[in-house]
C-alpha cells in the first residue's frame, strides 16, 4: 500500500508532556500538510511543506507546536507542554504540485487524548 501513513494511531498523554507524531506521505508527492480535527468539525489547516520548506503556518499553530520535514520525505509534528485543548485527531495529507496540489490525500490520523 502506497498511501499516506501516520504513527502512532492513538496517543494518550498527561497534560504538560511533549508528544511527537510522524507522517509518511505518498512517495511521489512533494507537498505535505497537517490538519487538526475536533469532534463534529471538519479538518482545520495547521501547516504545509513543499519538499523540506515550510511554506505556510496557520494561526492555530501556537508556539508549542512545531513541524519539520528535514529531508523532504516524512514529517514530524511535535506538541510541547500539551494541554487538554490539544486533544484532537491530527491528520496528515500529501499532494503533488500544479493542479494536483488541490487533491490532498489523507492518512488515517493520530488521535491524541490529553488527560
Partner 1 sequence: GQQLNQSPQSMFIQEGEDVSMNCTSSSIFNTWLWYKQDPGEGPVLLIALYKAGELTSNGRLTAQFGITRKDSFLNISASIPSDVGIYFCAGQLVLGSQGNLIFGKGTKLSVKP
Q: Which residues lie near partner 1 (CB under 8 A)?
A: 4, 6, 31, 33, 40-45, 47-48, 55-56, 58, 91, 93, 99, 101-109, 111
- Please state the closest distance from residue 59 (CB atom) to partner 1, in A: 9
- Please state the closest distance from residue 52 (CB atom) to partner 1, in A: 15
41: cell is: 468539525
Residue among 52 and 80 whose Cβ is closer to partner 1: 52
Residue among 78 and 103 whose Cβ is closer to partner 1: 103
Q: Which of 1, 29, 9 is nearest to 105 (CA)?
A: 29
7-27 b/e (C-beta count within 10 Å ≥ 16 → b): eeeebebeeeeebebebbbbe
Amino acid at each position: 500500500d502506497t498511501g499516506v501513513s501516520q504513527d502512532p494511531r492513538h496517543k494518550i498523554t498527561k497534560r504538560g508532556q511533549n508528544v511527537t507524531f510522524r507522517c509518511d506521505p505518498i512517495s511521489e508527492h512533494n507537498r505535505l500538510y497537517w490538519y487538526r480535527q475536533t469532534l463534529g468539525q471538519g479538518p482545520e489547516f495547521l501547516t504545509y511543506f513543499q519538499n523540506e520548506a515550510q511554506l505556510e503556518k496557520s494561526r492555530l499553530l501556537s508556539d508549542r507546536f512545531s513541524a519539520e520535514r528535514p529531508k523532504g520525505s516524512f514529517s514530524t509534528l511535535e506538541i510541547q507542554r500539551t494541554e487538554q485543548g490539544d486533544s484532537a485527531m491530527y491528520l496528515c495529507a500529501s499532494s503533488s504540485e500544479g493542479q494536483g496540489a488541490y487533491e490532498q490525500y489523507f492518512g488515517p490520523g493520530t488521535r491524541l487524548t490529553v488527560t
